[in-house]
Structure 1
Amino acid sequence: MLFQLFTFYNWTVLIYFFVLNGIYLFLTIRAFLEIQRYVHHLRSVNLKRIFELGFYKPLTVIAPAYNESATIVSSVHSLLNLQYPEFEILVINDGSTDQTLEVLKQEFRLVPSNRVYQVKLKTQPVHAVYGSLLFPQLHVVDKQNGGKADALNAGVNFSQYPLLCSIDADSVIETDGLLRATRPFLEDKLVIATGGTVRIANGCKVTNGRVTEVALSKNPWVRFQVVEYLRAFLFGRMGWNNLNAIMVISGAFGIFLKSAVLTVGGYRKDCIGEDMELVVRMHRHYRLNKIPYRVVFVPDPVCWTEAPEEHQVLCKQRKRWQKGLYDSLKANKPLFFNPRAGVVGLLAYPFFFFFELLGPVVEILGYGVFVFSLFMGWVNWPFALLFLSMAILLGVLLSASSLLLEELSFRRYPKTGDILILFLYGILENFGYRQLLAWWRLIALLEYVIGKRSWGEMNRKGFSTSG
């Protein structure tokens, strides 16, 4: 009986493996075609000319900040350097206990402001509002701590423009990032949200809030993450783009139609992954109410962010992401295999449930079953080695495809040696790193189930700066 269960499990895992990689192959092909089409189209578009002619929507940049004193100055300078015809910057100091507010006051000469705003979303109390004597478009809202979602909602309340750009306070946006990311709103009135590619800034040089020199970090943890980010954004996002089924817009950088955010009730404060949950809830509202809409991914590298350099911090980050995924899917269960939700309900939501949420359970359980079957003498070695080789080969091919597409389309890493190093890490990640991530994600699921929702803080070291 035990052997029959073992055989059944093996066949189940085999089917799971082929379905997963079949979807990956499908997304990879779509991503290749979509990015090549996008790059070709971009060459014929003069972004600056379009905006000079007045075809733009004013925009509010919302940057929540909690204990971000290490990176907040670089981030705000980056925002001030952005090329966009009409925008304002709202830094939301969410009850920081470090020197975040003091650093902002000193660097940007902040003074109290009597800015008027409407409370459309309930938030924690606001203590004070400041304006900059140096930069009239810069405002800082000092409020009681309520979490990132609460800070974002406060930013929505204070915003004066129809588009909202939510970013992490430790992020640096490309100078023309807003121009590129808002273009879909000009081309299609149905667009309610856009997201762009987020790159890792560790190892890069930041001068006056701009990434002036792109280089690969020497930290192995960071190098593994660079490969992950390339794969996730170039294929994970781009593959879903043409299907209008993007489930995630990174909290590091996203642009939303303000009216759409208010329609669905803003960011949920009881959700760990507020950025993903908002996007999934938008899909749910618009799909189930049969309202035409589009969520668009822009593959341009428009944002740079600091990645964890220590495994303890990386562990906290990935556990938070996994708990946020659980939160987002659980909060929007009506989408699950709902034909009224179209491709989101029938393909995207099930993919995230079975392969992203439950993936670590299947993987770690598989390792345990293999060890047990090894002890029982049930291992079919030719089959086991073939299966392992295929899994590694497909993973390497996906990573290599991401690097190739990056090199052909955007070429942000100027040194050929950096690309070769990343290719090597795309191989090495299959031998320890991937398993470690699966273990952390499994622990996160177990913690979530027993009610442990906290995840700790990510300590920032700041960017390598000059100027």
Structure 2
Amino acid sequence: MFIVIGSYMLMLLFATSRLKKEQELDKTDYEKVHMNALYSKPISIIVPAFNEELGIVDSVHSLLNLNYPQLEIIIVNDGSSDNTLARAIEAFKMRPVDRIVRKEIPAKEIIQLYESTIYPHCILVDKENGGKADALNVGINVATYPYFCSLDGDSILHENSLVRIMKPIMESDGEVIAVGGNVRIANGSSMELGSLTNERLSTNYIVLMQVIEYLRAFLMGRIAFSRFNLVLIISGAFSVFSKKHVVAVGGYAVKTIGEDMELVVKLHRYLKEQQSNERIAFVADPVCYTEAPESLSVLRRQRRRWHQGLLESLWNHRGMTFNPKYGGIGLVAFPYFWLIECLGPIIELGGYIYVICAFFMGQIYYEIALLLLLLFVIYGSVFSAVAVVFDAWTLERYPRMPDLLRIVVLALTEIFWYRPLTLIWRLEGFVHFFLGRKEWGNMERRGIAKEE
């Protein structure tokens, strides 16, 4: 736990420094310049969808509202068993078309291509079911532009998100070959015509704990790692890649459960082996909204799958660990992810067992045990409060005092119920990894509330 606290403190310092520098740039002037087609780079937006009938129309509407001069939207229906395909065809007036698609990455067969009669840059691909990674690979094959943005079927973007996530790529003149964007939880907010009209916190305690996690660990951690080109994870819910680089590494891996991290690690490996100065970045400002699990059963499947995917990627590329050939990725990022993220649950469980046994065996004083418990509670509350204030200061999200107080109070309870649960679920990820189970699990969607 002390190692985790120390690592979070370092990440907070690095993240604060990074965001302070970003804030010095005038976003308005930047957007005015790069909305010009002469400066922007064309991009294909790929939306893999499997049983996303509740959110697919709103998600695509949010993409149609984007401020970007040159883009195409590619919806990939991955053999959905619900009405995802029918809803997309009806909502966007799709018609079948014949088109030759070059299979640069091996993938399942395309059943039919459609084009919208009202939005010429909107394409629908109906394909055989092959999983999210395969759907993304099909989308890459269909894409005609040099960069692609991968989204989830329920992702909702801010109208300027695409301009801002492309900023590192355009400013670096192509040196940045992949960028991850900030993902936020939309539960509790309301929507109209693909845009969030009232962003607010959910009243569901399970969702609120995930908000705390996103702000405390995901946001601060990735900003800090991005400063040193050490990002190993960028969310599949909102990320941009250079198409030629992804094709060069064989696209998304269909045999791993964590295809997002696996792709990023493969890209890092490829760049280091090619002795390239190209890099991968994360930016906090471009916001993507997604629906978070509202039940413990769905959250359990998600966290178990995340940890199994983490284990798979680290194990598949274990030769990079402490390997100076891979620079900071091998010497810093991989050891960190092995020790803190991967083995963290085992270390934490061992710590709990030791403290409990030592207490009952009289090897630790009651006052010391109480002090340790108090330290853990304060750690959760203080870091959560700092993360929310940090988020409000930098991104102007959830700045209201009642929201801050709710999160601080809820964070006080984290160690008593939420942290033990996520610890167990991550340990289950170990079990699934060693047993070789490949279970995606059904992530039920309720949809984001519509504005009345």
What pairs with 1:21-36 in structure 2 (closer than 5 Å)? 21-36=5-20
Counterpart AA for 1:214: E
Deviations along 1:57-84, whole A, 9 cap, x unmatched? 1000000000000111111111111111
* Percentage of matched positions with identical amino acids: 41
- CA separation in 1, counterparts of 2:399 and 2:192? 18
Equivalence for 1:64: 48
Asked if 1:311 corresponds to 2:296, the answer is: yes
What pairs with 1:362-377 in structure 2 (closer than 5 Å)? 362-377=347-362
Equivalence for 2:401: 416
Q: Is the 8 A contact 1:59 1:87 kept in 2?
A: yes
- CA separation in 2, counterparts of 1:175 and 1:319? 33
- CA separation in 1, counterparts of 2:359 and 2:206? 32
Equivalence for 1:446: 431
What pairs with 1:10-409 in structure 2 (closer than 5 Å)? 17-43=1-27, 45-52=29-36, 54-188=38-172, 189-409=174-394
Deviation (angstroms), 1:171: 0.7
Deviates further, 389-398 or 96-105 = 389-398
Deviations along 1:367-408, whole A, 9 cap, x unmatched? 233333344333333333333333333333322221111111
- CA separation in 1, counterparts of 2:149 and 2:28? 26
Deviates further, 149-158 or 281-290 = 281-290
Deviation (angstroms), 1:18: 3.8
The change in CA–CA distance for 1:346 and 1:388 in structure 2 (over 3 A counts) is farther
Asked if 1:433 corresponds to 2:433, the answer is: no
Counterpart AA for 2:202: S
The change in CA–CA distance for 1:241 and 1:281 in structure 2 (over 3 A counts) is same
- CA separation in 1, counterparts of 2:119 and 2:320? 45
- CA separation in 2, counterparts of 1:462 and 1:151? 22
- CA separation in 2, counterparts of 1:48 and 1:323? 43
The change in CA–CA distance for 1:347 and 1:101 in structure 2 (over 3 A counts) is same
Aligned-CA RMSD value: 1.6
Counterpart AA for 1:388: L
- CA separation in 1, counterparts of 2:369 and 2:231? 35
Unpaired segments ≥5 residues, structure 1: 1-16
Counterpart AA for 1:66: F
Q: Is the 8 A contact 1:319 1:455 kept in 2?
A: no
Counterpart AA for 2:229: N
**Aligned to 1:386, what secondary structure does the other structure show?**
helix
Counterpart AA for 1:145: N
Q: TM-score, normalised by structure 2?
A: 0.96
- CA separation in 2, counterparts of 1:360 and 1:243? 26
- CA separation in 1, counterparts of 2:15 and 2:305? 27
The change in CA–CA distance for 1:83 and 1:43 in structure 2 (over 3 A counts) is closer
Deviations along 1:430-455, whole A, 9 cap, x unmatched? 22111111111111211221222314
Deviations along 1:232-290, whole A, 9 cap, x unmatched? 33311111111000111101000001111111111000010101110111111112332
Deviation (angstroms), 1:332: 1.4
Deviation (angstroms), 1:228: 0.8
Deviation (angstroms), 1:55: 0.4
- CA separation in 2, counterparts of 1:442 and 1:168? 26
Q: TM-score, normalised by structure 1?
A: 0.93
- CA separation in 1, counterparts of 2:244 and 2:53? 32
Counterpart AA for 1:255: V
Asked if 1:458 corresponds to 2:449, the answer is: no
Unpaired segments ≥5 residues, structure 2: none
The change in CA–CA distance for 1:216 and 1:18 in structure 2 (over 3 A counts) is closer
- CA separation in 1, counterparts of 2:410 and 2:49? 33
- CA separation in 2, counterparts of 1:277 and 1:305? 21
